[in-house]
């Protein structure tokens, strides 16, 4: 097995824990925020025991507001925070489009388009064991919407 | 007689320890998950496939005889290593998990029903929880859990009060993989024997750290895994008293475990073959045999003394790290330190520490009830093997300090 060029140079680590990620993790948007929620979904990451709850306020086809709760790592918290910052006032269709883009972008470096604000999450690409940390809140939101 | 333990010399026996990780020397502190293998084990499995490979107990040809001899020599080695009275009592399995499932389904299932209880402790690995939960669902029995205290020690008085004629089996971990606690098995067995309760000990985490004597422990079942004790993955064993095994029906049916098969009836093979249906992990068994020879050569007592030195030094140094909380502070511990560091999530810590070449485990360690007890979602865990050094502990401390700065 080729052990060269493996993920994990100090640059990679800096990409993973960019300032914006650390900022969202320590001062998250929507964390335990009271909203007029209309749906919610809780998910666990069996690998680490993390828990995330996504709460959404849906009016028609528009996601008016989003909040989250749970115990999770910095990457997962930042991802949930970015979701709560970026998703409100957008439509369900737009959310689904973004979520699917994120799933693709995390596993393929060819996916370059997508919301500029979410580019910071792509530092996790070189850390396959951490990809679920990013996707967990988005999967939870998608499940909440499908109820 | 004390055996001289030269860790620098021992390290040369482990080829992987010369590896670099992210440009740094590997510091392997994830031994409770799986240890590294010495050259003796790697070469024994390699030699088996190159020179002796054939099925066991089947052929009259030379290779089959050699394969059988090597596999059975490993069983003899393990029998001596755990001081079992007879090779007939040592059943090869895939590992501790399979051993426990075997006892649940073959031994306990026919003996248990509604109103009966299975008693375990709050510090069990999922492998000593879930098979019993499944059995309870199948039979209507209930699962009871003996409590632990804030140091991560078993509450012996509470456990004693939970013993009764209703309890049909007591399952207990010898050394906790999440906390490092060493349980007083002899004492617990004595308590259980007053009610004739069979005792199963999960020995996965004890085997690499101390000399295990199943007769001295007094238990009825002892489950172990090869890959925790410097052998290959996919091989382990169940030790049980011969009379108990004789009374148990086979667990899985197939080849190897029979004496005679017709469509009307099957006569089962003798012990231990009765519980070893199908072609086993032969090379794994041979590798485990080599691991036992290797450990015997070094001396388990010498290994215990060396690891205790590392554990003591690491506990002192970790305690001095600002914001670090050790989870599990039992008076008697072996090989494991679980901890949290400030508000840093263990998962983030694990990724950053990895960049320093230090491999540690983060998460719930397959012991979620332990995490719930200490009200943490996860911990970081360092666990020591016979090749770890005090210098490596210093590298860990330095990496932790740098991680703390990064997340401050």
* Nearest-neighbour CA in chain A from B369: distance (Å): 11
pLDDT digits (tens, 9 = 90+) for A49-87: 789 999 999 999 999 999 999 999 999 999 999 999 999
Contacts of A3 in chain B (CB under 8 A): 19
Instruction: Report the percentage of chain A scoring pLDDT > 90.
Output: 76
Cβ atoms of residues B234 and B286 within 8 Å: no
pLDDT class of A5 with cuts at 50, 70, 90: very low
Q: Does B407 touch chain A (CB under 8 A)?
A: yes
A133·B347 Cβ contact <8 A:
yes
Task: Name which of A11, A14, A15, A73 to mutate to probe chain B: the one with the most chain B Cβ atoms within 10 A of its Cβ.
Answer: A73
* Nearest-neighbour CA in chain A from B5: distance (Å): 33
A9·B22 Cβ contact <8 A:
yes
Nearest CA in chain B to A11: B355
Nearest CA in chain B to A128: B351
Question: In this structure, what is the dihedral angle of CA atoms A16, A18, A20, A26, given to the nearest 10 degrees?
Answer: 80
pLDDT digits (tens, 9 = 90+) for B215-247: 999 999 999 999 999 999 999 999 999 999 999
Query: What was the pLDDT predicted at A101?
Result: 94
Query: What was the pLDDT predicted at A113?
Result: 81
Of B347, B351, B334, B333, nearest to B379 (Cα)? B347
B351 vs A49, A50, A127: nearest CB: A127
The chain A residues in contact with chain B (CB within 8 A) are 3, 6, 8-10, 13, 16-17, 22, 47-51, 71-75, 127, 130, 133
pLDDT digits (tens, 9 = 90+) for B350-402: 999 999 999 999 988 899 999 999 999 899 999 999 999 999 999 999 999 99
Secondary structure (3-state) at A140 = helix
Q: Please confirm, yes or no, whether B219 is among the known catalytic residues.
A: no
Contacts of A50 in chain B (CB under 8 A): 345, 347, 377-378
Q: Is A5 exposed, middle or buried (0-12, 13-18, 19+ CB in 10 A)?
A: exposed
Domains defined for chain B, CATH in brackets: 7-30+299-407 (3.90.1150.10), 42-297 (3.40.640.10)
B377·A22 Cβ contact <8 A:
no
Distance of CA B31 to the CA centre of its chain: 11
Nearest CA in chain B to A77: B345
Q: Does B346 touch chain A (CB under 8 A)?
A: yes
Kindly state the average pLDDT of the residues B323-352: 96
pLDDT digits (tens, 9 = 90+) for B41-57: 999 999 999 999 999 98
Q: Is the bond into B58 cis (omega within 30 degrees of 0)?
A: no
Instruction: Report the percentage of chain B scoring pLDDT > 70.
Output: 99
| DSSP state at residue B123 | T
Active-site residue among B134, B366, B376, B397? Answer: B366
* Nearest-neighbour CA in chain A from B351: distance (Å): 8
Domain ranges of chain A: 10-146
Nearest CA in chain A to B368: A49
Query: What was the pLDDT predicted at A8?
Result: 61
CA angle (A81 as vertex; A78, A87 as ends), nearest 5: 130
Of B261, B263, B286, nearest to B92 (Cα)? B286
Q: Does B348 touch chain A (CB under 8 A)?
A: yes
Cβ atoms of residues B41 and B255 within 8 Å: no
Q: Minimum mean pLDDT among A38-42, B124-128, B364-368: which range? A: B364-368
Task: Report B:70-109 residues touching A (Cβ under 8 A).
Answer: none
Secondary structure (3-state) at A41 = strand
B351·A51 Cβ contact <8 A:
no
pLDDT class of A37 with cuts at 50, 70, 90: very high
Query: What was the pLDDT predicted at A4?
Result: 46
State whether the Cα torsion B288-B294-B300-B306 is positive or negative: negative
Backbone angles phi, psi at B327, to 5 degrees: -100, 110
B351·A6 Cβ contact <8 A:
no
| DSSP state at residue B345 | -
A10·B355 Cβ contact <8 A:
yes
Number of Cβ pairs closer than 8 Å across A and B? 52
pLDDT digits (tens, 9 = 90+) for A89-137: 999 999 999 999 999 999 887 766 889 999 999 999 989 989 999 999 9
Task: Name which of B351, B366, B403 to mutate to probe chain A: the one with the most chain A Cβ atoms within 10 A of its Cβ.
Answer: B351
B363·A49 Cβ contact <8 A:
yes
Chain mean pLDDT for chain B? 96
Determine the Cα–Cα distance for residues A72 and B345; give it in Å rounded to an integer: 7
pLDDT at A25 over 60: yes
* Total residues found in chain B within this entry: 408
pLDDT digits (tens, 9 = 90+) for B251-309: 999 888 888 888 988 889 999 999 999 999 999 999 999 999 999 999 999 999 999 99
> Class assignment of domain A10-146?
alpha beta
pLDDT at A1 over 70: no
A17·B346 Cβ contact <8 A:
no
A73 vs B345, B355, B371: nearest CB: B345
Query: What was the pLDDT predicted at A6?
Result: 57
A75·B377 Cβ contact <8 A:
no
Paired strand residues for B382? B337
Secondary structure (3-state) at B254 = coil
Nearest CA in chain A to B361: A48
Determine the Cα–Cα distance for residues B306 and B180; give it in Å rounded to an integer: 16
Q: Does B59 touch chain A (CB under 8 A)?
A: no
pLDDT digits (tens, 9 = 90+) for B134-179: 999 999 999 999 999 999 999 999 999 999 999 999 999 999 999 9
Query: What was the pLDDT predicted at A7?
Result: 56
Paired strand residues for A55? A40, A67
Task: Name which of A23, A48, A78, A134 to mutate to probe chain B: the one with the most chain B Cβ atoms within 10 A of its Cβ.
Answer: A48
Query: What was the pLDDT predicted at A47?
Result: 78
Cα radius of gyration (chain B): 22
A8·B406 Cβ contact <8 A:
no
pLDDT at B346 over 50: yes
pLDDT digits (tens, 9 = 90+) for B67-103: 999 999 999 999 999 999 999 999 999 999 999 999 9
């Amino acid at each position: 097995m080729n052990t060269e060029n493996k993920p994990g140079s100090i640059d990679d680590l800096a990409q993973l824990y960019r300032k914006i990620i650390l900022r969202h993790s320590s001062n998250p948007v929507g964390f335990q925020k009271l909203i007029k929620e209309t749906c919610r979904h809780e998910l666990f990451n069996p690998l680490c025991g993390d828990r995330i709850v996504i709460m959404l306020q849906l009016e028609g086809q528009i996601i008016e507001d989003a909040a989250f709760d749970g115990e999770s790592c910095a990457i997962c918290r930042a991802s949930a925070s970015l979701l709560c910052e970026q998703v409100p006032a957008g439509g369900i269709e737009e959310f689904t489009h973004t979520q699917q883009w994120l799933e693709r972008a995390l596993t393929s470096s060819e996916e370059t388009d997508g919301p500029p604000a979410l580019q910071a999450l792509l530092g996790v690409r070189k850390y396959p064991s951490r990809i679920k940390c990013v996707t967990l809140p988005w999967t939870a939101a998608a499940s909440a919407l499908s109820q | 007689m004390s055996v001289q333990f030269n860790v620098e010399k021992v390290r040369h026996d482990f080829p992987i320890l010369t590896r670099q990780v992210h440009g740094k020397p590997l510091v392997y502190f994830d031994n409770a998950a799986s240890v590294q293998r010495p050259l003796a084990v790697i070469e024994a499995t390699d030699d088996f496939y190159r020179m002796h490979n054939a099925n066991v107990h089947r052929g009259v040809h030379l290779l089959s005889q050699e394969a059988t001899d090597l596999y059975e020599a490993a069983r003899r080695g393990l029998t001596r290593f755990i001081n079992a009275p007879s090779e007939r009592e040592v059943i090869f399995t895939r590992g501790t998990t399979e051993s426990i499932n075997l006892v649940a389904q073959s031994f306990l299932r026919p003996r248990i029903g509604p109103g009966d209880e299975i008693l375990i402790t709050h510090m069990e690995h999922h492998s000593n929880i879930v098979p019993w939960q499944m059995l309870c669902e199948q039979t209507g029995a209930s699962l009871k859990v003996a409590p632990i205290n804030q140091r991560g020690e078993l509450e012996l008085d509470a456990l004693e009060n939970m013993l009764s004629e209703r309890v049909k089996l007591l399952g207990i971990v010898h050394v906790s993989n999440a906390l490092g606690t060493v349980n007083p098995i002899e004492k617990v067995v004595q308590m259980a024997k007053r009610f004739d309760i069979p005792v199963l000990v999960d020995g996965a985490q004890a085997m690499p750290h101390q000399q295990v004597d199943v007769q001295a422990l007094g238990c009825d079942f002892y489950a172990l895994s090869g890959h925790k004790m410097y052998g290959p993955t996919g091989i382990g064993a169940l030790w049980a008293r011969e009379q108990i095994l004789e009374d148990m029906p086979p667990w899985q049916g197939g080849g190897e475990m029979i004496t005679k098969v017709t469509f009307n009836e099957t006569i089962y093979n003798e012990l231990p073959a009765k519980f070893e249906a199908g072609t086993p992990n032969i090379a794994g068994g041979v590798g485990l045999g080599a691991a036992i020879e290797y450990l015997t050569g070094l001396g388990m007592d010498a290994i215990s003394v060396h690891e205790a030195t590392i554990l003591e030094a690491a506990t002192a140094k970790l305690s001095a790290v600002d914001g670090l909380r050790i989870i599990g502070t039992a008076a008697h511990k072996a090989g494991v330190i679980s901890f949290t560091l400030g508000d840093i999530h263990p998962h983030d810590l694990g990724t950053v520490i990895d960049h320093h070449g230090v491999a540690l485990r983060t998460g719930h360690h397959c012991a979620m009830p332990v995490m719930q007890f200490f009200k943490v979602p996860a911990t970081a865990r360092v666990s020591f093997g016979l090749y770890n050094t005090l210098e490596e502990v210093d590298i860990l401390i330095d990496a932790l300090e740098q991680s703390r700065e990064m997340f401050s």
